[in-house]
Amino acid sequence: MRIAEIHLTPVAIPDKPLLNCKGVHQPYALRTIIEVICDDGTTGLGESYGSIKALEGLRRAAPALRGLDPFHLHELKSRVAAALPEGGGINARTAVADHKLTDVVTSAFEVPCMDIQGKMLGRSVGDLLGGAVRETVPFSAYLFFKFGAHIGQDKDEWGEVLTPDQMVREAKKMVADHGFKSLKVKGGVLHPDLEIETMFKLREAFPHHPLRIDPNGGWTVETAIYVARRLEGVLEYLEDPVAGMDAMAQVAAATSIPLATNMVVLEFDQIAEAFTKRAVKVVLSDHHYWGGMRASTHLGKVCEVLDMGISMHSNSHLGITLAAMVHVASATPNLGYDCDTHYPWVGADVVEGAPFVFRDGALAVPRGPGLGVTLDRIRLAELAALYEVAGVRERDDTLYMKQFDPGYERRVPRW
C-alpha cells in the first residue's frame, strides 16, 4: 500500500476577540485539513496550521510523499526535509514563538499516516502509540481576557472580560458548561497587579482547582519575580513569565513555583540547555511542532528521565487535532497536568457528529480505528468557503489590535 493522493484544504474558523500580550485574536483562525489517500482507497486525516508559510510548505512537500508507505515515518521525515531544503519557520514576525517548517510539515503528514495505519490494523492511534494508560483525558479551562465583540459585529455570548470579576464570571460559565477541574489564564494583558487579583479571586471562587497563568513572556524578570512571590502557594505552575532561556532561569531561581514553557523549549535540541540552567520544570508538548504524535510521546519519556513534568499546549483547532491530542495524551504515561484546549471557544468543526463532549472536564479516548473521527464534507466545504471570504492569510494579533487601538504597539516585555 502506497500514498496515491494528498488533498490540502485551508479553512477558516470563526474565533472570539481573545486577548494576549501581543494583541487580540482576529475574527478567523486558520487551519489546514489534510487528507492522505492510499492506492487501496484508505484515507487518513490530519489538521495543521493554516498560516500561509505552513500551507505553502505543506503544498510543496505533498508531491514528494506520493508512493510512500504510510508505515515508513522515518522516510516521511527525510522526504519532507529534502522537499523543503531552505527550512525556516512558519509564524509571523509578531508571533510569540516560531516553529520549524520541516517539523511542522512532518507532523502534519504523520497524523494521517498513523490514522491510515490504525484503519488498516483495526486499532486506535493510541494503541499504535503504546496503548492508552487512561480512558479519559482531562483538560483545563482556557480562560482569556477579551473584548465584547469583534469590530463591526454584535457582542458575543461571553461579553467583555477586562476585570478580575468578569474573569471569575467567565470561569464559572466555562466550568458549568464543561466541568473543567483546573483553570489556565492567558495573562500579560492587564497590569500585573490586576492579574494577581484575578488569580486570588479565582482561588476564592474555585478553592480546589489547580490554577495557572501564562503571559507569553510578557513580563520583565523583575515583574515575574514580583508576581511569583505574590502567587506562591496559589499556582500549580507559571507558564513562560518571561521571554528567553536565561531570563526563565533567573525567575526559576527566585521562586518555588514550577515554570512551564511552550516558548523556550520547542525542540528536542533545547531540552538540555533548559535542564542545565534549571530554567523549566514543565514542558508543554504539541504534536503539531514537536515532530508528530510519536515524537510527543518520546518527549514524555525525555521529561520523565530529566524529572521534568509534561503538559500539553493548544492553538485554536478543530476536532481532528483534538482527536490526535487525546490519543497522544492517553499514551503519555507521565502526562501529569490537565491539557490545554481552545476547543470550547470554537463553535465549528469538520468532523461528523459531536464526538467531543467534555464530561467533568475530560474527554473519552476515541476508540478508533485510527483517530476515530470522520470528515464531514459539508462542514469542510463551509469552512473552506469561509477561508475564501475571510481575507486573512496569516495570524497577526498585533495588526488586528491596531484596529481597536491605533496607538497599540507590540512590546516584549510589556509589563
By CB under 5 A, name the binding residues for Mg ion: 214, 239, 262
Helix (H) or strand (E) holding 156: none
CB 330 within 8 A of CB 132: yes
Cell of 14: 470563526
Q: Which residues pair with 261 in a beta bridge?
A: 283
Secondary structure of residue 282 in the 3-state scheme: strand
Alpha carbon 149 to its chain centroid, in Å, reads 23
Cell of 229: 512571590
Question: Is residue 317 annotated as a catalytic residue, yes or no?
Answer: no
Query: Which of 150, 184, 313, 317 is the catalytic position?
Result: 313
Helix (H) or strand (E) holding 309: strand 309-312
CB 231 within 8 A of CB 214: no
Helices 319-330 & 293-305 angle (0-180, nearest 10) = 40
Q: Which is nearer to Mg ion, 214 or 394 (CB)?
A: 214
Q: Which is nearer to Mg ion, 106 or 262 (CB)?
A: 262
Q: Which is nearer to Mg ion, 18 or 380 (CB)?
A: 18
CB of 214 to Mg ion, least distance (A): 4
CB of 166 to Mg ion, least distance (A): 22
Q: Which is nearer to Mg ion, 102 or 262 (CB)?
A: 262
Q: Which is nearer to Mg ion, 9 or 262 (CB)?
A: 262
CB of 93 to Mg ion, least distance (A): 19
CB of 80 to Mg ion, least distance (A): 26
CB 55 within 8 A of CB 73: no
Q: 171-197: string of b/e by CB count within 10 Å (b at 16+)?
A: beebbeebebbbbbbbbbbbebeebbb
CB of 96 to Mg ion, least distance (A): 8
Q: Which is nearer to Mg ion, 239 or 396 (CB)?
A: 239
Query: Which of 186, 209, 288, 327 is the catalytic position?
Result: 186
Q: Which is nearer to Mg ion, 3 or 339 (CB)?
A: 339
Q: What is the CA radius of gyration of the chain?
A: 20
CB of 263 to Mg ion, least distance (A): 6
CB of 244 to Mg ion, least distance (A): 14
Question: Is residue 181 annotated as a catalytic residue, yes or no?
Answer: no
d(CA 335, CA 338): 8
Give Dmax over CA atoms of the chain in angstroms.
Answer: 60
Q: 90-111: string of b/e by CB count within 10 Å (b at 16+)?
A: bbbebbbbbbbbbbbbbbbbbb
Distances (CA, A) of 390 to 163, 382, 394: 31, 12, 11
Residues acting as catalytic residues: 186, 313
